[in-house]
Amino acid sequence: MKRILIVAILLIVVILLIPAAMVSMNGSAQEEMGPFKIAPLEKTSQSSEPKVQSEVTVPELAIDVYRSQKEEVESIPLTDYVIGVVASEMPVEYEIEALKAQSLAAQTYVMAQLRLDEESRNVPKEALVTDTVNHQVFLNKEELKEKWGDAFEENWAKVEEAVLATAGQVIVYNEQPITAAFFSTSNGFTENSEDYWTQEIPYLKSVESPWDHESPRFEEEKAIPIQEFEQKLGVTLAGDGSIGEIQSRTKGGRVERVQIGDQQLTGRDIREKLELDSSDFSWFMNGNEVVIQTKGWGHGVGMSQFGANGMAKEGKTYKEIIEHYYSDVTIEMMEEMEE
């Protein structure tokens, strides 16, 4: 009888101790958890309800945008910011996979911007980005309602679908978010970064982009009075009907060096000073004007937006588009960014 009583007491002690031990183990496991990953959202439209992924939620990153017209800073949730960029930078009529590629590029751009210190950002009022072409063009929801009118709901839902499909993703090279440069239309090739800017960036290399030949901005012509041409470039034409010699072109087919009289200029100099669509140009004299013919629209570095849409029309995914225009990159989930 005494032995049975002892066994019963021991069983009661064990039963009481087990829950306490389990609580202690769970507490230790939570303390050892690392930073959460930002997972893609499940919400697909404004009218649908988001699915619950976890009891633990990570607040969405807020992007401080300097609004150039109002000269004030607007704090925008990351998802709405990327929607506003994609809607401003790429035609909403483009294929959904092209919009996804633009979304991923836009999100990666701002993640790279977060890695910079305030001095390097050089943005007014300590904002992260501006809403201009100096960073990424951005319109908020109210501005998009005004822009799209009756098509707002349909257009917003389409862009939102693209943004949510790439939520939490970032384009990475050497474990860092890339400078996800993009532009409208190529001349059939993109440009090496060092051939337009001064810095060689390993993932911004010249690649073929044959889809751009179908772009309405593939070819353009601009006539400039000789006096204006000379003034803007700081040159004097010979007066014999000649303009200057295009001495070399880049791997991407754009003008590298030009000699006009005793002045040597780069293709980028001429494009920017004369406000040309592209630095792939040729020219000829026509009376008192210099007629300049260009191919492509934009600086030519990174992803061609029209080319991305062409790839999407052929059934390519946004990942295939990104991997074509940015060399040797990977697409990864980004860890929670700490302020």
- Asked whether the predicted pLDDT for residue 14 surpasses 80, the reply is no
- Residues 108 and 188: beta-carbon distance below 8 Å: no
Cα 100 from Cα 82, distance rounded (Å): 11
Residue 59: band (very low, low, confident or very high) from pLDDT cuts 50, 70, 90: low
- pLDDT at residue 182, as a whole number: 96
- Asked whether the predicted pLDDT for residue 23 surpasses 50, the reply is no
Using CA of residue 69, residue 71, residue 74, residue 78, what is the dihedral sign? positive
- pLDDT at residue 120, as a whole number: 85
Q: Which of 126, 128, 131 is nearest to 144 (CA)?
A: 131
- Residues 102 and 306: beta-carbon distance below 8 Å: no
The per-residue pLDDT for range 197-217, each reduced to its tens digit, is: 989 999 999 999 999 999 999
- Asked whether the predicted pLDDT for residue 164 surpasses 90, the reply is yes
Residue 51: band (very low, low, confident or very high) from pLDDT cuts 50, 70, 90: very low
More confident site: 312 or 115: 312
- Residues 249 and 255: beta-carbon distance below 8 Å: yes
- pLDDT at residue 118, as a whole number: 80
- pLDDT at residue 2, as a whole number: 41
With a CB cutoff of 8 Å and minimum separation 6, the contacts of 308 are 94, 97, 98, 101, 102, 321, 325
Helices (H), the chain: 2-31, 78-89, 96-114, 118-121, 141-148, 152-165, 193-196, 226-233, 267-274, 305-313, 318-325
With a CB cutoff of 8 Å and minimum separation 6, the contacts of 237 are 226, 229, 230, 243, 244, 260, 261
For residues 77-101, give the mean pLDDT.
97
Angle at 129 between CA 127 and CA 133, to 5 degrees: 145
Q: Can you say how many angstroms the Cα of residue 21 is from the centroid of all Cα atoms in its chain?
A: 50
The per-residue pLDDT for range 123-162, each reduced to its tens digit, is: 998 899 999 999 999 999 999 999 999 999 999 999 999 9
- Asked whether the predicted pLDDT for residue 60 surpasses 60, the reply is yes
* Cβ-based neighbour number of residue 148 at 10 Å: 16
Q: Which two tokens stand for residue 328?
A: 């040797």
Q: The whole model's pTM is what?
A: 0.80
- pLDDT more than 70, % of the chain: 81
More confident site: 22 or 260: 260
Mean pLDDT lowest among 16-25, 231-240, 313-322: 16-25
Over the chain, what is the mean pLDDT? 84
With a CB cutoff of 8 Å and minimum separation 6, the contacts of 24 are none
Residue-range domain boundaries for the chain: 62-180+302-333, 215-295
Residue 102: band (very low, low, confident or very high) from pLDDT cuts 50, 70, 90: very high
